[in-house]
């Protein structure tokens, strides 16, 4: 398989993927593709619409009608769903769980996988998610799987939610992280797992800068 200049960063929630992907993208001059944001936007749309996801016809129509734009602003991504900026609305714990639920649906995965390939398939992207190196971009030249202990990931998620001004319960955050990772890892389709050719990084005791520097060196080195 011919390699394409794509960096994939997969891993469980709270491992530091977003911050690290954004910084790495800026450093190597690539675009940043936040695929979790896409699942979150679809989760939000399905929640708001109240449709029955078991009804394939109704779900297909909703997915056909969706207008999802990711627009880079100052290194971050604004998420525009059907003309509305939902960048903050998709970051709540409720939408995290909704995104995880809808991400197990084959129709949703098919739609977002093809959108992601349309955006990043030609290269020049750092793509972050759960199945970037395994399913969406198997031909990526550099694949990383970013992990950290469950406790460390929960601690980081609490800090992040507090920074966003959200009310957080540390114990509940830990429980949700465990539940979401269990669901994301055990689903039949494109489960969270490291690609066989991914470099696995445990970031529990590393700073963001250390991880970014390690990845950037790999990208520059080959
Ligand atoms: O990375 P995140 O926490 O924003 O992702 C939200 C959910 O979306 C996550 O629990 C699982 C799903 N997801 C996925 O199934 N595949 C991806 N490539 C990205 C996210």
Residue 72 has pLDDT above 90, yes or no: no
Q: Which atom of ligand 1 is nearest to the CA of 37?
A: 4
Chain segment 87-141, per-residue pLDDT in tens: 999 999 899 999 999 999 999 999 999 999 999 999 999 999 999 999 999 999 9
Structural domain that includes position 200: 4-221
> Whole-model pTM?
0.95
Chain segment 132-176, per-residue pLDDT in tens: 999 999 999 999 999 999 999 999 999 988 998 888 999 999 999
- Closest by CA position to 128, among listed 12, 1, 5, 2: 12
Q: What total number of domains does the chain contain?
A: 1
CATH of the domain at 196: 3.40.50.300
Distance from the alpha carbon of residue 62 to the mean position of ligand 1, in angstroms: 19
Look at residue 185 in the predicted model and tell me its pLDDT.
95
In whole angstroms, give the CA distance from residue 143 to residue 168. 33
In whole angstroms, give the CA distance from residue 115 to residue 109. 10
Determine the residue of 99, 108, 189 to mutate for testing ligand 1's pocket, defined as the one with the most ligand atoms within 8 A of the Cβ atom: 99
Q: What are phi and psi of 39, to 5 degrees?
A: -65, -35
For the Cβ of 16 lying below 6 angstroms from any atom of ligand 1, the answer is no
For the Cβ of 101 lying below 6 angstroms from any atom of ligand 1, the answer is no
Residue closest by Cα to atom 16 of ligand 1:
130
Q: Which atom of ligand 1 is nearest to the CA of 96?
A: 6
Look at residue 129 in the predicted model and tell me its pLDDT.
98
């Amino acid at each position: 398989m011919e390699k394409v200049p794509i960096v994939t960063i997969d891993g469980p929630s709270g491992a530091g993927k977003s911050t690290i992907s954004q910084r790495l993208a800026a450093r190597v001059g690539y675009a940043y593709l936040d695929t979790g944001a896409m699942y979150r936007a679809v989760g939000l749309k399905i929640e708001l619409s109240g449709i029955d996801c078991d009804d394939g016809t109704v779900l297909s129509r909703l997915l056909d009608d969706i207008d999802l734009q990711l627009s880079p602003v100052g290194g971050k991504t604004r998420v525009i769903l059907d003309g509305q900026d939902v960048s903050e609305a998709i970051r709540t714990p409720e939408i995290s769980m909704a995104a995880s639920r809808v991400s197990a649906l084959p129709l949703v995965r098919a739609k977002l996988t093809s959108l992601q390939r349309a955006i990043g398939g030609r290269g020049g992207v750092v793509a972050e998610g759960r199945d970037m190196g395994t399913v969406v971009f198997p031909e990526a030249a550099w694949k990383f799987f970013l992990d950290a202990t469950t406790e460390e990931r929960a601690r980081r998620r609490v800090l992040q939610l507090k920074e966003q001004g959200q009310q957080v319960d540390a114990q509940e955050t830990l429980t949700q992280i465990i539940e979401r990772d269990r669901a994301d890892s055990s689903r039949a389709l494109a489960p969270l797992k490291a690609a066989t050719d991914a470099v696995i990084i445990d970031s529990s005791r590393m700073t963001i800068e250390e991880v970014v520097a390690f990845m950037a060196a790999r990208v520059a080195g080959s």
